[in-house]
Chains A and B, each alone.
Chain A
Amino acid sequence: MNNAQLLLDDPGWIITLKAVIVFAVCVVLTIMSVWGERRIVARMQMRVGPNRVGKFGLIQALADGVKLALKEDLIPAAADKVVFIIAPVISVTAAFMAFAVMPMTGPVNFFGEETVMQLTDLPVGVLYVLATASVGVYGIVLAGWSSGSTYPLLGGLRSSAQVVSYEIAMGLSLVSVFIYSGSMSTSSIVAAQQSTWWYGLVLFPSFVIYAISMVGETNRAPFDLAEAEGELVGGFHTEYSSLKFALFFLAEYINIIAVSALATTLFLGGYHAIPGLGFTEQWLGGWFTLVWFFLKVIFFFFVFVWLRGTLPRLRYDQFMQFGWKVLIPVSLLWILVVATLRLISTTSQSRVTTFIFAGVVVLIVMGISTAVDASKRKRAAHVYPEAAAPSFAVPSLPSEITTINVSNSVSDKGGDRG
């Protein structure tokens, strides 16, 4: 009996209870991850992090939430009031919805009912996650637009452009998972990984592309350029305060958890134990799989924090170039390779065919990388490219300067200090 069949005979009260649990898990995870992130990033910078509110500062995020809720809720005079209020609601709702299809445990006994900890199992579960992420973009765009202010508008446009472009790379990286598992349902993909290796290893390039694009998708460091606190005053949520801001904050962290959960499900075997520890899945009547699931999610979350602690922020054009000119073409090519390999193996061709194909692919990749290297070296040789003089006045290029003014700063002429 697979997950979908197990879920089918759930009575209404179990579904309701699960919905509440999913909601609670999202909120609690957000609070814990805010605390965890601040503590971890602090340690990476040789600081301690929040340690005052509660034991080890554990309820710091809760205190922050209370503080936010008690703040004055401002709506700018220039704002479109209705949209301004709806935008954070859209954002946070979409974020919560994504978690509904995540299979968190294997079959367990839930108040006397044999079921799995998964709210619903759609045959197109992963597409549904991508869809909710896309709906979440509306929250960002509308928030930026309805604020009636320039910076939020620009920040909103940037954020949404970022999310939309990285969603393409993300979606493409998932295609090879679909090809290999033969399903778009999250639970079937988890089950499919049991028969082979985890897809994180089998489809390693997809995993890497997904891991990069999920950081871009959630607007997190080093791709947090659209809401760079130091430069853009927060981006699309500049004009938001109090609970509405808290909703955006909540949405951001739930999104992180959700993409981590999706990565766990699609690439790291979901709620299953790591290979060799399969016997632990029977512990606590199957509930121990919940521990495995959240261990993997926390691992991804740690990587998020690690990235934030290590990498400097990208420039917008670098970021967009990386997404469109590297990630998307590479994932398209990878899909071609995976599809061909899959076809070869399903039509049970001889192993020789597979190896020949693999060899050709390797040769092509090597050729491309050599060509790219050569063109890079060529470009590096031309420090100052020759260009025709434009019709308008421009400052002269360094290569055109024939004299330079060499001044001595301590000469008797210069400066008021002599």
Chain B
Amino acid sequence: MFQIVFQTREAIVADQNEFQPLVNKENKDVDITSVAYEKVDQPGPKSLLKQAQGFWVTFITMFKKVNTVQYPEVKEPTAERFHGRHQLNRHPDGLEKCIGCELCAWACPADAIYVEGADNTPDNQMSPGERYGKVYQINYLRCVFCGLCIEACPTRALTMTNEYELADSTRSKLIFEKDDLLGPLRAGMLPPPHPMYPGMTDTNYYNGDVKEAHPSQEQK
């Protein structure tokens, strides 16, 4: 009903009331006679009535609210920063943020990301600047949702959503292509490819100077 706490006499002298872990500079043998024993009472059940309290705990728990979430019917929101499925973001005018730099693929510890970049041309402008991600795949059978890819992304093109229902029946379905990962076109966005905002450079895009698509960007 008690345990013995080993303490050097010096430690006890140093602080009579508070237990301190031993801090010795090097390993050394301590003579047992210089070790003080301290009896520590462990609070355990003292009487039969105290022991019977356990029965009361389980009994009263029956009438408490259960913790279970009826999952498929009831879905509770995840934590705000929950690491879920990835999303490839767009600039406010609809151009893709991804520049095909492959830093996410390099950062990935599970080798789950495959990126193939290509040059933007005046006819096929997918993102501001020179390059865009032509092929973008994330293999969710490998992904460990560590978020290192998000940290690596220089343009904030890759972020994570809170979506966690990713189970599927085949392997191929779990390799998400660029179409599966791209964020939706919101109000004021135009589906790429289309030219950059008139008078804006890629730097302006990164600085957030482009707020929405310009009518001239729309292609016939």
- Residue A406, interface by CB 8 Å: yes
A310-B58, A406-B8 as given contacts; A47 in contact with B29, CB under 8 Å: no
Whether the Cβ atoms of B57 and A403 lie closer than 8 Å is no
Q: How far is the CA of A47 from the CA of B32 in the complex (A)?
A: 51
Whether the Cβ atoms of B61 and A408 lie closer than 8 Å is no
- Residue A349, interface by CB 8 Å: no
Q: Which residues of B contact A401 (CB under 8 A)?
A: 32
- Residue A40, interface by CB 8 Å: yes
Whether the Cβ atoms of A404 and B68 lie closer than 8 Å is no
Q: How far is the CA of A408 from the CA of B26 in the complex (A)?
A: 6
Q: Which residues of B contact A404 (CB under 8 A)?
A: 6, 29-30, 32, 35
Q: How far is the CA of A408 from the CA of B23 in the complex (A)?
A: 6
Interface size in chain A (residues, C-beta < 8 A): 24
Whether the Cβ atoms of B68 and A47 lie closer than 8 Å is yes
Whether the Cβ atoms of A48 and B66 lie closer than 8 Å is yes
- Residue B49, interface by CB 8 Å: no
CB distance from B178 to the nearest CB of A (A): 39
Chain B residue nearest in CB terms to A43: B62
A47-B67, A48-B66 as given contacts; A406 in contact with B57, CB under 8 Å: no
- Residue B31, interface by CB 8 Å: yes
Whether the Cβ atoms of B62 and A406 lie closer than 8 Å is no
Chain B residue nearest in CB terms to A311: B54
Within residues 208 to 246 of chain A, which ones have a CB less than 8 A from any CB in chain B?
Answer: none
CB distance from A204 to the nearest CB of B (A): 15
Q: How far is the CA of A415 from the CA of B8 in the complex (A)?
A: 23
Whether the Cβ atoms of A406 and B59 lie closer than 8 Å is no
Q: A401-B32, A406-B8, A406-B29 are in contact. List 16 more A-B contacts (CB 8 A).
A: A44-B61, A44-B62, A46-B66, A47-B67, A48-B66, A380-B1, A403-B31, A404-B6, A404-B35, A405-B30, A406-B28, A406-B30, A408-B23, A408-B24, A411-B26, A411-B27
Whether the Cβ atoms of B6 and A408 lie closer than 8 Å is no
- Residue A23, interface by CB 8 Å: no
- What are 11 of the A-B contact pairs (CB < 8 Å)? A43-B61, A45-B61, A46-B61, A47-B68, A306-B59, A406-B27, A406-B29, A407-B24, A408-B23, A411-B24, A411-B25
Mark each residue of chain B from 26 to 55: 1 if its CB lies under 8 Å from any CB of chain A, else 0: 111111100100000000000000000011
Whether the Cβ atoms of A43 and B27 lie closer than 8 Å is no
Chain B residue nearest in CB terms to A310: B58
Kindly identify which residue among B25, B31, B59, B70 contacts A408, using a CB–CB cutoff of 8 Å.
Answer: B25
A43-B66, A306-B59, A401-B32 as given contacts; A406 in contact with B26, CB under 8 Å: no
Q: Which residues of A contact B23 (CB under 8 A)?
A: 408
- Residue B167, interface by CB 8 Å: no
Within residues 342 to 382 of chain A, which ones have a CB less than 8 A from any CB in chain B?
Answer: 380
Instruction: Write the residues of chain B forming the contact surface with A, with a CB cutoff of 8 angstroms.
Output: 1, 6, 8, 22-32, 35, 54-55, 57-59, 61-62, 64-68, 70
A43-B61, A44-B61, A306-B58 as given contacts; A406 in contact with B32, CB under 8 Å: no
Q: Which residues of B contact A42 (CB under 8 A)?
A: 66
CB distance from B153 to the nearest CB of A (A): 31
- Residue A413, interface by CB 8 Å: yes
Mark each residue of chain A from 375 to 418: 1 if its CB lies under 8 Å from any CB of chain B, else 0: 00000100000000000000000000111111110010110000
CB distance from B30 to the nearest CB of A (A): 5
Q: How far is the CA of A403 from the CA of B27 in the complex (A)?
A: 13
Whether the Cβ atoms of B32 and A402 lie closer than 8 Å is yes
- Residue A123, interface by CB 8 Å: no
Q: How far is the CA of A131 from the CA of B27 in the complex (A)?
A: 66
- Residue A65, interface by CB 8 Å: no
- Residue A205, interface by CB 8 Å: no
CB distance from A78 to the nearest CB of B (A): 39
Chain A residue nearest in CB terms to B52: A310
A43-B62, A306-B59, A402-B32 as given contacts; A407 in contact with B27, CB under 8 Å: yes
Whether the Cβ atoms of A310 and B32 lie closer than 8 Å is no
Q: How far is the CA of A406 from the CA of B58 in the complex (A)?
A: 43
Query: Which of B1, B23, B55 is packed against the most chain A CB atoms within 10 Å?
Result: B55
Whether the Cβ atoms of B29 and A403 lie closer than 8 Å is yes
A44-B58, A45-B61, A310-B58 as given contacts; A406 in contact with B22, CB under 8 Å: yes
Q: How far is the CA of A48 from the CA of B71 in the complex (A)?
A: 12
Whether the Cβ atoms of B30 and A403 lie closer than 8 Å is yes
CB distance from B110 to the nearest CB of A (A): 24
A402-B32, A406-B24 as given contacts; A46 in contact with B64, CB under 8 Å: yes
- Residue A309, interface by CB 8 Å: yes
Chain A residue nearest in CB terms to B30: A406
Chain A residue nearest in CB terms to B65: A46
Q: Which residues of A contact B66 (CB under 8 A)?
A: 42-43, 46-48
Q: How far is the CA of A190 from the CA of B19 in the complex (A)?
A: 63
Q: How far is the CA of A112 from the CA of B1 in the complex (A)?
A: 67
Q: Which residues of B contact A46 (CB under 8 A)?
A: 61, 64-68
Q: Which residues of A contact B68 (CB under 8 A)?
A: 46-48
Kindly identify which residue among A309, A403, A405, A413 contacts B58, using a CB–CB cutoff of 8 Å.
Answer: A309
Chain A residue nearest in CB terms to B35: A404
Chain B residue nearest in CB terms to A303: B55
Q: How far is the CA of A401 from the CA of B4 in the complex (A)?
A: 14
Q: How far is the CA of A359 from the CA of B59 in the complex (A)?
A: 37
CB distance from A301 to the nearest CB of B (A): 15
Q: How far is the CA of A311 from the CA of B27 in the complex (A)?
A: 44
Q: Which residues of B contact A311 (CB under 8 A)?
A: 54
Mark each residue of chain A from 295 to 311: 1 if its CB lies under 8 Å from any CB of chain B, else 0: 00000000000100111
CB distance from A57 to the nearest CB of B (A): 12
Q: Which residues of B contact A405 (CB under 8 A)?
A: 27, 29-30
Q: How far is the CA of A310 from the CA of B31 in the complex (A)?
A: 45
Q: How far is the CA of A311 from the CA of B53 in the complex (A)?
A: 11
Q: How far is the CA of A411 from the CA of B24 in the complex (A)?
A: 8
Q: Which residues of B contact A48 (CB under 8 A)?
A: 66, 68, 70
Within residues 283 to 303 of chain A, which ones have a CB less than 8 A from any CB in chain B?
Answer: none
CB distance from A418 to the nearest CB of B (A): 15
